[in-house]
Structures are given as structure tokens and as C-alpha cells.
Amino acid sequence: MRVSKNIADRKNSLTDNPNVMVSTILFLPSSLLPSSLLLLPPHQSSKLTKQKNESFGWHLQFLTIIGLSISTLCFAVGLFADITNPSPLSRTLFTAKNYLLLVAAPIELTISILYWGLRTIDIALVVPPDLPLPPLPTDIGFHLVPAVVLSLDAVLLSPPWPTSPVNTQAPLLTLGLSTGIAFGYWWWIELCYSHNGFYPYPLFGLLSTVQRIGLFAVSGATMWAVGGGLRVLYAWVNGFETVEAMEKTKRARNMGEGGKWE
């Protein structure tokens, strides 16, 4: 698929001069919408709040909250990259934001897939039966908005890889990262369970140890697959020529700055 010159120029500017104020706009719905929508009446939220506030691991037992925390950090770093542009710090922050995006987007997509899939099967698998169901706007704010916004950022507003040229070992690196995150979360909830005597999601209590291993293996594979899917979508939307043009521009700039030409 041929990429237009305008798209190529836009992508090159994202790498060389990260003046992307759109990340500021995206920051608001992705991080503030979920918290602003969590306006449950006191009689509905007090039991959940008290239990989680006093338990080991706090609200960070929930994969949803962990994902939102990483997403908020990702867009906050992007916001500061915009604010400090143009400066060397801005470029550093923009690169850091892209590394965070490499983690945040697949995590949020995986959370959305798992949550809405399990919710469709039986909502009691993800929400304890003695707790009130979240209002639909809140549910969407927590479990859909971040995935959509981060996917748009990854495909339309970011380079294909945090560094240039694109790492040839990207599939293996992301596979290791996804697997590590999945089983790291398993270790974390088991640690919380050893202190609290309950799991954050009812599903975990219904599964045996072997079944939980299988669940987290599938979750890690899902995260890896959606990350790869984003890179494929990036190439389909922007064209492979965009990636090549960005790498040539980066090489030329480095050679010019170093005074050495190939």
C-alpha cells in the first residue's frame, strides 16, 4: 500500500520534533474519564472502598487499575514532552512515552478483551456477587476507552518502534515482555491472596493452580498477539514506506551530526 507524502512527512515530524499536542487531548478521556465517572452513591461504594483500602495491595490488586496507572503515566509523559518542546528533554520524554505505549496499549487491549469476554459469559466471574454492578458509562470508561485511545495513539500518532531503526527482534522482545507481565501479575495476586484471603476477581478463586497457569499463559499470548496486531495495523494504515523513510531520515541526521557519511 503506497503511503502519501503527507503521511510520511507527518510521521517523520513525530520522530524528529515531537510537537504532538493531540496526546494532551487524548490524555484527558483516557485517564480522567474513568475516575470522573466513578461516582457511585455512598451505600454502593463504601463496602468495596473499605475492603480494598484496608487490604494488602490496595486497589492495585486489580489488573484494570494497574493498566489505568500505566496508561495515565504514558499520556502524562507525552503531555510533558509536548509542554517542553522544543528541547532535548522533549525528545527524551517522547521516546520514554513510546516505550510506555509499547506496554500500555497491549495491556489495555488485553484487559478489554478479557473483561468484556468474561462479562458476556457471566458477570459474576469479574464482579463479586455481593457488590453492585458498575454503571455502564463507568464500565466503558475503565474497560474500553483506554484501549481505544491508546490504539489510536499507537497507530496514528507514534513511530512504529520507540527507537529507529525498528528492532529486528521486536516479536521476541514483546513475547518475553508479555509473558513476564502476565506471570508477574499472577505472582502479585497470589501474594495479595496470602495476606487477604481473597482474590480481586472471583474467577481466580474458581480455578485450580494449573488452570490459573493456563489463564495467565493465554493472557500473555493475547497481549503479545494484540501488540503484533497493532504493528501490522500500523504498517497497513501508514504503509511500509513510512517506516523505511523514517529510518533513512534518522540515519541521515545521525551521520550529519557525527560528520561521518556512509
pLDDT of 159-217, one tens digit each?
877 766 666 777 788 888 899 999 999 999 999 999 999 899 999 999 999 999 999 99
The pTM assigned to this predicted structure is 0.76
Average pLDDT over residues 236-248: 63
| Residue 258: per-residue pLDDT | 57
More confident: 254 or 195? 195
Separation of alpha carbons 34 and 84, rounded Å: 27
Contacts of 30 (CB under 8 A, 6+ apart): 71, 72, 75, 145, 146, 149, 150
Residue 259 binned pLDDT confidence (cut-offs 50, 70, 90): low
At residue 190, the pLDDT reads 95
Of 164, 161, 152, 167, the closest CA to residue 20 belongs to: 152
Cα separation, 175 vs 70, in Å, equals 19
Confidence of residue 71 (pLDDT cuts 50, 70, 90): very high
Q: Taking the C-alpha atoms of 50, 53, 57 and 61 in order, what is their torsion angle to the nearest 10 degrees?
A: 60
